[in-house]
Amino acid sequence: MDISVFQTIWFVLWGVLWAVYFMLDGFVLGTGFISGFLAKNDTEKRVLINTVGPVWDGNEVWLVTAGGATFAAFPTTYALMFSNLYSALLLLLFSLIVRGVSFEFRGKLESAAWKGAWDKAIIVFSFLPALLFGVAFGNIFKGIPMKNDFAAINFTYDGTLIGLLNPYGLVTGVLFVLLFAVHGSLYAAIKTTGDLSKRAAALANKLWLPLLVVAVVFLGYTYPATKLYGNFLKAPVLLIVPVIAVVSLLLVKVFAAKGECYKAFTFSCLTIVFVVFTGVTGLFPNLIPSSIDPASNLTIFNSSSSLLTLQIMTVVALIFVPTVIAYKIWVYRIFRAPVSNEDVLGSPDAY
C-alpha cells in the first residue's frame, strides 16, 4: 500500500488514542478536583480516592501510547510540539506526577495536616492537567505561531507560555475542565453509595448547564478562531461527528435528571470521545497548523516516519492494542462494585 494510507491510518489511531485517554483519565481528573466539594470527612475522601485507585495508573497507559505514537509515527511533529509547548507540557507532566504521588502518600501518616496538604494537592494537580490539556489542544486547533523551512531544516517559533493563554485556548481549557467535572461526578455517583453518591449525582446535574453554555461558546468561537470547520464544509457527511457529540451531551442531562447515572456516564464517555474526534476531523491532515504561515503546517505527510516504520508499527498495534483493551476491560470488571464507607474502613489495603 501507498505510504499515504499508513499515514492516514496512524492519524486516525493518534486521534483514537487521545480520545480514549481523555475518556478514561477524564473521570479520574474530574473526581480528583471535585473531591473538595463532595467529600465531607476523611472517610468520604478515602472512598473517592479508592474509586479511582485501582485504575488511574492504568489509564495513563493511553497517554504514554498517544505520546509514543506521535514520536514513532510523526517524529517531526513530536519534536516541534515539545519545543513549542515545552513549558506547558513540563508543567503538565509535573502535575500528573504530583497527582499520582498524592494518592499514594496521603495515607502514609495519621496526621490531619499531612492529609490536608495532600488533599489540596489532589485537587490542584487534578485541575491543572484538565485545564492544560484543553489549553494545549485549543492552541493546536487555533494554530501555533511557527515558521518552518523544511528544505533547510530551519524552525522558528514566536510563541510564549503566556501567549498560549489566549482567549480561545482558555475557552477550550474551561471546556475540558467542565467536561471532566461532569464526567467525574457521574463516575463518583455510580462508584459510591449513600449520601455521597446522591451528592455526586446532584453536582453533575448542576454542572451540566455551565458545561452546555461553554460548549456553545466553544463551537461559536471555533469558527472565527480556527479553520476546523473547513473539512466539515467540504464534506458535510462529516458533520455526523459533532452531531453525535452534541446529542450525547444532551442525553447526559436527560439521564442524569432521571437519576440514571450509568446511562448518563455512558453518554458522557461518548461526548468526550466525539468532542476529540470533532477536533481531529477538523485538523486533518494537519497535526499542528501554523498560525502565521500555512506552508509551515505540520501535516501527516511532511512529518511522518518512513513507510517501513509505519508498516512495522501497524503490525505491532494490531497485536498489542487489542491486548491492552482486553486487559482494561478485565480490570474494570474486577473493580466494578461501588466503594462504600465500610470498604475503606475495614480494609488495611485501601488508600
On the question of a cis peptide bond just before residue 285, with omega within 30 degrees of 0, the verdict is: yes
Lowest pLDDT segment from 54-58, 115-119, 126-130, 226-230: 54-58
What is the pLDDT at residue 247?
97
Encode pLDDT of 51-106 as tens digits: 998 888 888 889 999 988 999 999 988 888 877 778 888 899 999 999 999 988 98
What is the pLDDT at residue 15?
95
- The residue among 54 and 175 whose pLDDT is bigger is 175
- The residue among 174 and 36 whose pLDDT is bigger is 174
Cell of 252: 447526559
Does pLDDT of 166 surpass 80?
Answer: yes
Q: pTM for the complete prediction? A: 0.94
The residue-averaged pLDDT of 212-224 equals 96
Encode pLDDT of 7-50 as tens digits: 999 999 999 999 999 999 999 999 999 998 899 998 999 999 99
What is the pLDDT at residue 150?
60
Encode pLDDT of 318-331 as tens digits: 998 899 899 889 98
The residue-averaged pLDDT of 146-153 equals 65
What is the pLDDT at residue 145?
85
The residue-averaged pLDDT of 176-193 equals 96
Query: Residues in the chain, how many?
Result: 351
What is the pLDDT at residue 152?
52
The residue-averaged pLDDT of 172-181 equals 97
Domain architecture of the chain: domains with CATH: 3-147+159-345 (1.20.1630.10)
The mean pLDDT value of the chain amounts to: 91
What is the pLDDT at residue 146?
81
Encode pLDDT of 266-314 as tens digits: 999 999 999 999 999 999 999 999 888 888 888 999 889 999 999 999 9
Encode pLDDT of 225-279 as tens digits: 999 999 999 999 999 999 999 999 999 999 999 999 999 999 999 999 999 999 9
What is the pLDDT at residue 151?
56
Please give, one letter per residue, the 3-state secondary structure of the chain: CCHHHHHHHHHHHHHHHHHHHHHHHHHHHHHHHHHHHHCCCHHHHHHHHHHHCCCHHHHHHHHHHHHHHHHHHCHHHHHHHHHHCHHHHHHHHHHHHHHHHHHHHHHHCCCHHHHHHHHHHHHHHHHHHHHHHHHHHHHHHHCECEEEECCCCEEEECCCHHHHCCHHHHHHHHHHHHHHHHHHHHHHHHHECHHHHHHHHHHHHHHHHHHHHHHHHHHHHHHHHCCCHHHHHHCHHHHHHHHHHHHHHHHHHHHHHCCCHHHHHHHHHHHHHHHHHHHHHHHCCEEECECCCHHHCEECCCCCCCHHHHHHHHHHHHHHHHHHHHHHHHHHHHCCCCECHHHHHCCCCCC
